[in-house]
Amino acid sequence: MDTKAKVAYMDESDHANLDGPDELLFNVSNNTIELDERDSIAISCYADCFPPCQIDWIGSHAETSITSAELKIVNVKREGNYTCRAMNPRKVNITISDTIYVIVQSDV
């Protein structure tokens, strides 16, 4: 009985199966979102990749850096840009990004 573990290696034919990312999709219909002050929203970012993409968010505020497909903005106070980035972990230097702009309507 063979007790050696099977190890998967990428060969030249595997490179043809690498795919994406080609475009980003959001769960919102517009890249500009207007929210009332203190509103909350969850924005999801999706990119079709093989193997699955690594997705992260970078915000215009220094405290926004999220390594998840979902960006949650709770009790919004400041407007700004939120950029979703997708990278295929096996395609070096292939990254796509798109930005959502959040506008805050203040309670006056």
Average pLDDT of every residue of the chain: 79
* Alpha-helix residue ranges (DSSP H) falling in the chain: 12-15
- The 10s digit of each residue's pLDDT in 17-33 is 568 898 899 999 999 99
User: What pLDDT does 64 receive?
Assistant: 59
Omega before 52 cis (within 30°)? no
SS3 31: coil
Between CA 23 and CA 96 the distance in angstroms is 7
How is residue 13 written in tokens? Answer: 């034919």
Q: State the pTM of this model.
A: 0.74
The residue among 33 and 61 whose pLDDT is bigger is 33
Is residue 86 pLDDT above 90, yes or no? yes
**With bands split at pLDDT 50, 70 and 90, how would you rate the model's confidence at 35?**
very high
Which residue segments constitute the domains of the chain, with CATH numbers given?
Answer: 18-105 (2.60.40.10)
CA distances from 12 to 17, 31, 50, 107 (A): 10, 39, 16, 59
Query: Region 28-56: what's the mean pLDDT?
Result: 91
